[in-house]
Structure 1
Amino acid sequence: MKFTTMPWINLPGFLLCLLLSSNGFAKDIYVSIKGNDKNPGTKEKPFATFKRAQLALRTIRGATTVYVRGGTYYFTSAVVFTAQDSRSPMEGVTYKSYSGEKVNLSGARELQLKWENAKGGIKRAKVSEEIAFDQLFINGKQQRMARYPNYNPDIRFFGGGSADAISPERVKGWNHPEGGFIHALHKHEWGGYQYLISGKDQEGKLTLEGGFQNNRQMGMHDKYRFVENIFEELDTAGEWYFDKREKMLYFYPQQGTDLRKARVEIPQLKSLFEFRGTAEQPVKNIRIEGMELRHTLRTFMETKEPLLRSDWTIYRGGAVVMEGAEHCVIKDCFFNTVGGNAVFMSNYNRNNLVSGCHIAFAGASGVCFVGDPKAVRSPSFEYGEFVPLNEIDRVPGPKTNNYPANCSVENTLMYGLGSVEKQVAGVEISMSMDIKVSHNTIYDVPRAGINISEGTWGGHLIEYNDVYNTVLESGDHGAFNSWGRDRYWHPDYQVMAGIAKDNPALITADVIKPIVIHDNRFRCDHGWDIDLDDGSSNYHIYNNVCLNGGLKLREGFFRTVENNVILNNSFHPHVWFDRSGDVFRHNIVTRNYFPIRVNDWGKEVDRNLFPDQQALEAAQKVGTDAHSAYGDPLFVHAGIGDYRVKPGSPALKLGFKNFPMNEFGVKSPALKALVSPVKLPVLISEMKSEGQDNYEFLGAKVKNLNTLGERSATGMSTETGVLVLEVPKKSILYGKLQANDVVLKFNDAPVKNMKDLMTIQMGLQLSQKAMVEVFRNQALKKIEISLK
């Protein structure tokens, strides 16, 4: 018999289909940097690209694993999953790294350059390719665009900012500033702004585009700003500049860097994976597992879309984007210095999971869940906007299903986020329902660790997280932060109070399910540990440890706060409504309450433990805490963070119940090994008036002045006050206080020791300014400081 070939058949693909589908179940597929897309995708003859594996999978039935062999894969475009790639629950596909091999997925282009000397230690190289120059990585390490002022990690805001960053005198020295960027904090430190410099006008002033990155338009901060991507500012090691006109890359290498052997990588892509389905035709049952994702573009000039009545604008993108996805998983992946968001779940998403991941130094947020404003009834977008009462849609809940629901982020380590943008969070939730945030460790972030924008539509579960070193480059915020500003909310408090009183059903028309926050540990040194702002309603908050900033409830209704431990701080009720339905009970507070404009104390504020009789009596004078008590809570071991109480504690008699202190944060041993642990507070009640113990105060290192030697060195006449030992540049006291100062008064209140200083300061968290009296150079000096 004579056989003839059929040239129109793709023979490798045809054989692959026969091989993998003939038995009704799938076999594994392999991808390797040494592979070839004409191969059959077997272990012995793997594919070369993800896209080839993706195409093959569309013809394969049965559960399948795509094993990716070790190496760096430079993507030329994102891998986009559509409804064509959907799998049934029993036929899911997993893309994962091969056991024991490290897989790096890069959105960069690797360049081969010929370097030559320029001037003053600067090197330069001609770039022949037409590529975007947004970031530069040398040997895997991100370098910095030429900037002023130069980057200094010890400075709190931006690693350095200056009021003269765009002064006429400085701008005069820039020949071609077009393509440069201005980064600045919001005037009230509510996130930031970015601007592209498009050139100079006839008067030599900069022409700018941008400033849309914040939804509360108040302009740039006068001081906290810097400029980058300016050739004339290329003056220190680690900086670079690309001249688009000459197609010349200039780089000032660190000492010892051999550029002849260096790996030069330039990010080109915004995303590496995109899940692009719809509610009607979703992408289902795809997993990405065990790989490193890096080298994505910064997206701060695309952060334009305002969220509802908040400070936020967003860019609906990230290294991984999910829209129209169901039962998809991102597991055990390392997001390494991605330029924008790490994971963004936009609009319709159901039952998706981010688990076991490591997100470090992302340019924007860690994991975002953001729905469609068109799913919101009677939405408003700017803080001062509102829909007239007679026009408000009164139907509870969403209009459509175009939002994330029943999605989770768990066991994920996040730190160093917001390296570019400042209005970010480890986890951001907006216009979503039933989002679970569990067992994550989040620290070193410029704003909140976990943020819930508006009440739409509640049902979220925030549990077992460890969130600290927060609000590092902003102000007036919390480690956990939220606001309501739902349908009933109005920028005029009196109008809003009337709306809420006469239309009580509107209060929970958006937050239709309670939001639960339990068994977390929070720390904020520039705001509140738990900050429920502007109308946040329908919350149950219990079994949390607040390490420093206390707990705030502003406006809002139906908040039950019980069985929490609040250290070195207390309860901050702000601007409450009449008949709010709020409850605060069975909590341990370690300072007196700090109310602001509270006339009606809600449904119940009682059976709490205070530190002393004075604090308790202050509460009882305003009609709360009739059955509360005071005394030592008898913590099991505060020094190691065990704030359970011993038998015999007065807290137990009030109804407080112990809860575990060792379940906060990530669970996996591999992630735990990477964590920089939280700094536990020295309790004010345990601060010693004698001895050599050092303390931290607003970022400065201080101690009680209590030795004859210290008295002699400072010129003090008695051994009293708080001695300043060191004021690092990251401290908000930098440039105000200095070593060897002795703090004697704080806002006219005497300071005899550290306990006095901390007690006074705890009641001033909303103050923009405070007056400190110090003894310096044998004289008294009054200094105004900012507490933000």
Structure 2
Amino acid sequence: MTAGDFFVDALGNDANPGTKESPFATIEAARDAVRKAIAGGMKEDIVVHIGAGNYFVEKTIELDDRDSGRDGRAITYKGAPDLGTRIFGGRRITNWTKLNDKEFVAEVPDLQQHFMLYENDQAANGGIFHTFQDAPEGNWKREGTRLIYHPRNLPIENQILVLGTAKDVFSIKGRSMEQIAGNIVFDGLHMIGSDFAPEWKKGDSYASNWDGEYDGKPWGGKTLCDSVIAPDMRHGQFYIENARNVVVRNSRLYGAGFMGVMFNRWAQECRMENNWIENAGCNGLFFMGWECGRGPFKTVAESYVNKKHVVRNNVFHDIGRFSNYGAGMYFNFSGDNLVEHNVFHGITHYGVTLKGWRPRLINAFYSVNSGATLENPDKIAPYDVQELKLYGEYVVTEANQGAEVLHSRNTIVRYNDMSQIARSGDDMGMISMWGAGTGNVWEYNACHDGVNTSGWDHWLHVLFNDDGSHLATVRGNIVYWITGGGRSRAIMAKGNEQLNIYNIIADCDLSAAATIGPYIEQAHHMVWSNNIVAAQIQTLYEGGQGTEKVGGEQRPILKAAEKNVYFYQPLDRAEPSSPGAEKIQQQVTGRNKAKGIDADSIYADPLFDRKRPWWDAHYTEYLLKPDSPALKLGFKQTDMSKIGIQEGFPFDLAKIIGQPAGKTRKAADFSRIFKNRITNQQVRSRHGSPLYRNSWTRYNGVDFGEGRRTQFRTRLEWVAPKQTFDKTVEGATVNAMELGDDWRPIPYWEVSPAYNEKGKTGPELFEVAFAPEKEPDAVKWKPVIEPLVSRATVRHPLGVVNCDVVNGENNANSAAYMRASLYAKSGGKTDVEIRGAHGVKVWLNGVQVFSQLGNVGNSKRVDMTFKKGWNQFLVKVVQDDKPWAPAMQGYGNFWATVTLHYIRVGGAFLVPGLPGNERFIDPHQGAAVEIRLDAPDGKLIGTLPFKQNTCKIEKTTGRHDLFLVFPNENVQMMDWFRFE
């Protein structure tokens, strides 16, 4: 303590001198005293000691350059120990009267201007992962000036009920970019809440429209362009602009309406250290610089004003309450930052994302400044437009890729622990960038426990370098316990010279390890080397082959792919000898023989030095044994002791990620999930069926306290008597396959014999009608209900029908037919993908809907309308005019597959050939949920019977990992649970 220190106490008086004995009552009074004290300069640091108690900030506390440290000294606003200084971003409401047995009402004249409510240190219900059907405690509503609330705790007069009224609680903003605020520290504060807005702007942080003034001119309702949020959305519990060296440390930032901290425009060298950031409405931290060509600058160099921040040793938990695009950290035109040793858990879209404008759109977006409406941005030339010089000097070219104006660059994201991210939305990743700029590094992060929450086969990448982010390094990351369908992969590589090395992808269930190659922007000369892939995958990676034409020359997609170790490892570590393992081993062997990319990679067990059971995998499980084949190939191990929170973090991480047993919790707020998935914030199966037998969901660190909780309560949907279909095929019963939220081929078919005509080639048979078109009942159809394997051991995925293999091989210049029946639960229209070789015709319900000869191997999409009930497919396939040859790789020249979105027809049943017979199956009447501690087969403390929503539990004390196990397939969905 120095002679210049000031003191604030909730029971003080602003007429006091602000001493320890006679403190101020408000932070504003202390700020004014500091301003007066430092007007002539600073000879020592100043600390404002804010005492324990509750402070209600109805209007923003503003600090500018006159309130800032100077002469090498800092001003610190320091809270009481143990988060005793509680700063609410709003007004306390006390005039409650009883409305009915459950609800209370208070008159609030300006209620319609405000949108957030808090009880004690917890937000009232509402938003993503915070809405609980049939659990009304915490619900609230606004009716004119009447605020109606169902409190969680009684009596209501003993609770602290606060209406959010301040969109920014602290604003640290210099008066201009020349009058910079800064050298201000906020230490040990407990920030609770702030106000929000009626709704997040349409398009979220992607493409807001703006009616007011922007960039010094009327904007007239035009788009602000990708990744640019509207000015009235740029708020935080701490708002920072025109400021340098602002530090927030050792603080809890809870329940911000918008951001925990908003770094807007000119903001440099700020630090976030040892903080606990939870339940932010959109993003934990948002860094928003100036977009390409915009702002009051004369040169490109001048426009780079948001940079050099450090975010270290923080926890980001439950972020994105009002935004499907929420991020722990969102960098937009902000670069040269360091993000390290943080924990991210429970975030709607991204852990960390770096954004900008992808190079081919910079000119189009910049042209909005001069009045363009961007109805078709692709009509504006992407390169070499001399009349579109940014800042009067810079022209975007194919060679420079706009790198100098894409400021989200040179940011290092390392040693972070990320889990349960991308829990709402689509096309997302744990670490992501799009149009970000060059030189970003993602290294030594642990990314785990994620599941595709949109369509099971939609896009999900864990490390997601999307279009137009070049010269990136993805190194030494550990990706594990990630599950998803046909477009779920660990890494997306879509940038020039992206380096992917020394990464581990293990204990995942994905379609492939990576997607490698260009889409809209350039992506060439990439490297995929010295990685370990030990997971349940269907193919090594998508893409990577060939070249792309840039600047008149062909450039390789992959410059190098070598010394990788591949191994097929099921999630539950079952014995990896299976058709899946054979398929991956064949792919590796094929690369070895082809002598191209991955020619010296190997298929081998990488020999992890595992210490835990399979269900308890942790990133420390992926240290390699000394005799690992990966080490022999030059693999470099990550120092795992540096991952996640390090020494100095002042809070108990287990209490942050864990929850009190009595708190109502979304079942989708998992720590780990086995077999099932999350959709609409609920636990459901992957394909619309009941929750899988012996599947489970894990919740770490549930605190049962002293053991007062005696009952488990949940909201479930039960399996009803189930409609299904079967049919007899060759004397055996074949059950229909039910598909729901899937994008996958029709799995079951019947296949005709091969037909040919003397003197005609395969293509010439395309218009010849054979028996299946004229007399199908006379045809001897062969069922295909298992994956086909050729004599050359090429394994075909279920639904890929090779008519040559079905008919004994050796067929040339032939035609064949396939038929299947689909029962649509509701009917409807969907696009259908048709692939095959060499020519394919498709009839649906007797009407020809597709016909193409040649080039059907590339996917073709056709809109088709399905009626409710049975729909019948007939597919004709003809070969090309080549002699027969065995298919050593790929599927040869006599195959077809039909793929569609089954959910768009209400879900479907599939049978081979003609329609099946309807029957109903009663659900299992046994236990619905087993409540276990610390392991999937751990201590059983309760069993929830079928069609009940409560059950008794044994007395349980202390903190435990909770496992909710589904032993029988009689639960359709779990929404939320709590212990009472």
Which of 653, 659, 662 is residue 672 of structure 1 equivalent to? 653
Which of 91, 102, 115 is residue 73 of structure 2 equivalent to? 91
* Alpha-carbon distance in 1 for matches of 2:545, 2:721: 39
Following superposition, the deviation at residue 655 of structure 1 comes to 1.2
CA contact (8 A) 1:550 1:566 kept: no
Q: Which moved more, 1:638-647 or 1:536-545?
A: 638-647
Does 2:18 correspond to 1:71?
A: no
Following superposition, the deviation at residue 377 of structure 1 comes to 10
Does 2:443 correspond to 1:518?
A: yes
Which of 141, 155, 160 is residue 263 of structure 1 equivalent to? 160
Does 2:613 correspond to 1:662?
A: no
* Alpha-carbon distance in 1 for matches of 2:900, 2:355: 24
SS of 1:367's partner is: strand
Residue number in structure 1 paired with 2:495:
556
CA contact (8 A) 1:552 1:574 kept: no
Which of 590, 594, 614 is residue 586 of structure 2 equivalent to? 614
Which of 524, 538, 560 is residue 471 of structure 2 equivalent to? 538
Cα deviations across residues 238-274 of structure 1 (Å, max 9, x unaligned)?
3222222xx32333445x6333444332111101111
* Alpha-carbon distance in 1 for matches of 2:719, 2:531: 37
* Alpha-carbon distance in 1 for matches of 2:523, 2:49: 59
Does 2:365 correspond to 1:465?
A: no
Judged with a 3 Å threshold, the aligned counterparts in structure 2 of structure 1 residues 68 and 479 are, in CA distance, closer, same or farther, namely same
Q: Counterparts of 1:674-753 in structure 2 under 5 Å?
A: 674-676=655-657, 695-699=674-678, 724-725=693-694, 747=745, 748=747
SS of 1:571's partner is: strand
Does 2:222 correspond to 1:240?
A: no
Q: Which moved more, 1:742-751 or 1:444-453?
A: 742-751
* Alpha-carbon distance in 2 for matches of 1:571, 1:131: 49
Cα deviations across residues 654-679 of structure 1 (Å, max 9, x unaligned)?
1111222233222226243335389x
SS of 1:298's partner is: coil
Letter of the 1:662 partner, please give it. Answer: S
Following superposition, the deviation at residue 310 of structure 1 comes to 3.2
CA contact (8 A) 1:723 1:740 kept: no
Cα deviations across residues 492-511 of structure 1 (Å, max 9, x unaligned)?
xxxxxxxxxxxxxxxxxxx3
* Alpha-carbon distance in 2 for matches of 1:476, 1:83: 42
Residue number in structure 1 paired with 2:18:
41
Following superposition, the deviation at residue 77 of structure 1 comes to 1.9
Residue number in structure 1 paired with 2:348:
446
Does 2:218 correspond to 1:318?
A: no
Following superposition, the deviation at residue 296 of structure 1 comes to 0.4
Q: Counterparts of 1:272-291 in structure 2 under 5 Å?
A: 272-277=169-174, 278-291=176-189
CA contact (8 A) 1:726 1:739 kept: no
CA contact (8 A) 1:347 1:370 kept: yes
* Alpha-carbon distance in 2 for matches of 1:778, 1:736: 10
- Structure 1 portions without partners, runs of 5+: 1-19, 161-233, 380-394, 487-510, 679-693, 704-713, 715-721, 753-758, 780-784
Does 2:535 correspond to 1:593?
A: no
TM-score (normalizing by structure 2):
0.54
Does 2:307 correspond to 1:363?
A: no
Residue number in structure 1 paired with 2:327:
425
SS of 1:662's partner is: helix
Cα deviations across residues 684-738 of structure 1 (Å, max 9, x unaligned)?
xxxxxxxxxx9424356999xxxxxxxxxx9xxxxxxx9535699x9xx999999
Letter of the 2:105 partner, please give it. Answer: R
SS of 2:163's partner is: strand
Cα deviations across residues 128-171 of structure 1 (Å, max 9, x unaligned)?
677844223334433236x9xxx986xxxx767xxxxxxxxxxx
TM-score (normalizing by structure 1):
0.66
Letter of the 1:104 partner, please give it. Answer: R
Following superposition, the deviation at residue 430 of structure 1 comes to 0.9
Q: Which moved more, 1:433-442 or 1:588-597?
A: 588-597
Cα deviations across residues 616-637 of structure 1 (Å, max 9, x unaligned)?
1354559311111110000011
Q: Which moved more, 1:100-109 or 1:437-446?
A: 100-109
- Structure 2 portions without partners, runs of 5+: 208-223, 357-405, 453-459, 483-487, 548-556, 568-583, 660-672, 700-715, 725-734, 739-743, 749-784, 788-795, 801-858, 860-898, 912-918, 923-971, 973-980
Judged with a 3 Å threshold, the aligned counterparts in structure 2 of structure 1 residues 671 and 68 are, in CA distance, closer, same or farther, namely same
* Alpha-carbon distance in 2 for matches of 1:557, 1:91: 44
Q: Counterparts of 1:117-136 in structure 2 under 5 Å?
A: 117-118=99-100, 121-127=102-108, 132-136=113-117
CA contact (8 A) 2:12 2:23 kept: yes
Residue number in structure 2 paired with 1:580:
524
CA contact (8 A) 2:518 2:524 kept: no
Letter of the 1:274 partner, please give it. Answer: S
CA contact (8 A) 2:503 2:530 kept: yes
Following superposition, the deviation at residue 82 of structure 1 comes to 0.9
SS of 1:400's partner is: helix
CA contact (8 A) 1:702 1:725 kept: no
Following superposition, the deviation at residue 453 of structure 1 comes to 0.7
Judged with a 3 Å threshold, the aligned counterparts in structure 2 of structure 1 residues 253 and 355 are, in CA distance, closer, same or farther, namely closer
